[in-house]
Amino acid sequence: MNKLLCLIAVFVFTVTFSAVAQDFGWPRQVTKDGATLVYYQPQIDSWDNYRTLKGRMAFSLTPSNGRQQAGIASFTAGTEVNKDTRTAYFNALNLTDIRFPSLDEKEVPAMTTLFKELMPTNPQPIAVDRLLADLNGKNTDVKAAAVKNDPPQIFYSTRPAILLLMQGEPVLSPIAKTGLQFVVNTNWDLFYEKSKKEYYLMADKGWYLSKDIKGPYTLTRILPKDMSKLPTGENFDEVKKMVPPPATTQPEQVFFSDGPAEMILFNGTPVYTRIPGTELLYGANTDNDFFVDNSTKQYYVLLSGRWFSAANTSGPWEYAGDKLPEDFKKIPSNSPKSRVLASVPGTIEASDAVMLAQIPTTVSVNKQEAAAKVSVHYDGTPQFKPIETTKLEYAVNTQEKVIKDGDLYYLCFQGIWFMSTRPTGPWETANSVPQEIYSIPPSSPVYNVTYVTQVETSSTTVESSYTAGYLGMFIFGAALGATIAYGTGWWYPPYFYWGPGMMYPWYHPWPMTYGAGAIYNPWTGGFAVGRSVYGPYAAAGSAAWYNPATGRYGRAASVQGWYGGRTVAHSYNPWTGAYGATAQGHNAYSQWGTSVAAKNGHAIQTGHVTTANGTIAGYRTRSGQSGTVVHGNNGTVIRGNNGNVYAGHDGNVYRKNANGNWTQFNNGSWQHVNTPDKNISGATRNNNISGATRNISGETMHGLDQSHFNRQRGNMQTQRFQNWQRSGGGFNRGGGGFQRGGGRFRR
């Protein structure tokens, strides 16, 4: 078994950086036949269903033989989002209104025509972080899940320790030509020696012995002789490297749980660091997000996106997400613990995380080719159980999500729906699925399929979409301020089945909420899990299986896919059954190949080449539109001039100067404006003012200040993400990085 720390990728971004089709910055300029258009970053009013944008953009337009004029273009546009690069693309841009507030009405038609000629019609890339910042507080409709927030068993230790987790009763697999059995359903390598009735646990630095699977475990240098007879090859290569046991003088404490559990582990006596401007202290020598409120001496820990509190480190712990101290909102954005802000109700970071979780990933699916790649394996005859509160049933003895509706069967496989008249197929790509599927409750282990939708777009294609819930990340707590969590919080008992005459059961677990230290990574928009304390397999959930008919089994990130024809890599999502090749995982659609599923927002044909005029990046979206962004002297260009130009709600164009003052464009020049506290009369009209000073209403000023704040924040977040990409996409949780497991298993 591979003893390296595995990573379960939950929400997924390919960790690569290129110039292809990304947001180079704002404003952008187009020059043609001596005329110049400079258009500034759009100000977003709404993003309906995260598919249709409505907004405004300020621009300046200079005819070939005329003077510069400022205007505002209102628009709607469809969007396609590439979550790998956190880039959205405007397509089907519809200009609903074009205004030149200080231009003579006779000149407006000609200038409007010129603007439309110069404004690019190809998809325009813009960083998702800019959109999220501009939408702060505007997109309030969320699909909240009825997750459970019961605390898991929480262990606490200040000395080296590991957490041994087991789902249900032990599932033992015999090892040929030995007296050993292997415990399949644990997160560490655990063996049972039948003659002596002893358990041998392999940890990172040594072996431990116990008469009882629940412990206590003691360090041992003596192993059964049959350990030297373990088969050579894929299953036990890492174990054989630890035979005989290495010398170790620092034993680890072994904590055991056969239910939901987590570990708080300090590296020695706790060391706390104060967060400036608050009464909060955080644990500096632990990988956990662990805090103390100095004013109440209450402890807080963040586990799988949920807050729990206790008066003592030994517990009892209770859910605290609905009563966090206000100081948590005051954690600075540059704090080493700033990542927890995404889990603090009412923060901008939480709002960003919730919006990002609702942005769909969409592909256009070739129905015939997709159906040809699908098969479902059952352990024995297909068996189904009712889904409470519905008339539906779900298959229990397969890794796949198969749902029975009357005489029809629906399969959700890697983000695409299929249907059949038989549970075993043959399968055809579904044009749609019954609406009742979307009423499946979180108490069902197949709840995540309610986040996958599908509609027919032609006789040969369907459009499939999913949001973060399909990958095991759910929105909850909308009443107090929505946040995101990993897992539903429900405990789904594993499936066991003893066939006729069988000494060992078939075994399938379901995804777990706890047991892997899941933490939110704001740059991927999802949860990453894995720490050495949780073992090489962590809470891989449905990555584990055992087939006694063949004696084959597998677990976690290193399981070989048994569906046929797909590349196996190093990360695994237990909610979807998908594998990935990067440190943060991959998209659920990525293993289909572009001939089957053309991913939206992705460049189907991409490339970049450096010329004397700069770097040219070409791209083509799912809708077939293509475009070119040129970083140089011609075409659509990113300029380094003042980008602080805005479209005011009053129909005028404003600019914020370096000294922080606002000016308004009027009759070819920028004029200072009176702020509301200097405006003697709210009824004073600008056209009655002499000189170069204009009045501005309080409402307009507030809107401009908010737009400026949002833009600055969007710029900062975009830059941070690009820096994260350039660094390789790693994610340090404060005590060590993630590593990926290796090895493969075949079923």
Q: What percent of the chain has pLDDT over 70?
A: 76
Tokens of 682: 């709210």
How far CA 76 is from CA of 41, 137, 465, 584, 690, in Å, comes to: 14, 20, 21, 34, 37
pLDDT at 582: 33
Average pLDDT over residues 606-626: 35
CB 429 within 8 A of CB 457: no
Question: 49-98 pLDDT, tens per residue?
Answer: 999 999 999 999 999 988 999 999 999 999 989 888 899 998 889 999 99
Location of structure tokens 């646990």: 201
Say how far apart CA 262 and CA 151 lie, in whole Å. 9
pLDDT at 175: 85
Tokens of 657: 């100067």
Higher pLDDT, 615 or 121: 121
Average pLDDT over residues 213-227: 94
Question: Among 35, 443, 540, 535, which residue's Cα sits nearest to residue 238?
Answer: 535
Say how far apart CA 319 and CA 88 lie, in whole Å. 37
pLDDT at 77: 95
Q: E strands within 211-285?
A: 218-220, 253-257, 261-265, 272-274, 280-283
Question: 120-162 pLDDT, tens per residue?
Answer: 888 889 999 999 999 986 766 788 999 999 999 999 999 999 9
The single-letter code of the amino acid at 291 is F
pLDDT at 409: 98
pLDDT band of residue 475 (cuts 50, 70, 90) is very high
pLDDT at 557: 35
Average pLDDT over residues 165-178: 86
pLDDT band of residue 651 (cuts 50, 70, 90) is very high
Angle (CA) 569-574-580 rounded to 5° is 20
pLDDT at 677: 60
pLDDT at 214: 96
Say how far apart CA 610 and CA 637 lie, in whole Å. 15
Angle (CA) 230-235-239 rounded to 5° is 60
pLDDT band of residue 510 (cuts 50, 70, 90) is confident
Question: 340-364 pLDDT, tens per residue?
Answer: 999 999 999 999 999 999 999 888 8
Predicted structure pTM score: 0.84
pLDDT at 514: 93
Q: Which of 151-155, 390-394, 413-417, 520-524 bottoms out in mean pLDDT, i.e. has the lowest?
A: 520-524
pLDDT at 647: 96
**Overall size of the chain counted in residues:** 747
The single-letter code of the amino acid at 353 is A
pLDDT at 149: 96
Buried b (16+ CB within 10 A) or exposed e, 9-22: bbbbbbbebebbbb
End-to-end CA distance of the chain: 15
pLDDT at 593: 59
3-state secondary structure 300-358: EEEECCEEEEECCCCCCCEECCCCCCHHHHHCCCCCCCHHHHHHCCCCHHHHHHHHHHH
Q: Which of 7-16, 32-41, 658-667 bottoms out in mean pLDDT, i.e. has the lowest?
A: 7-16
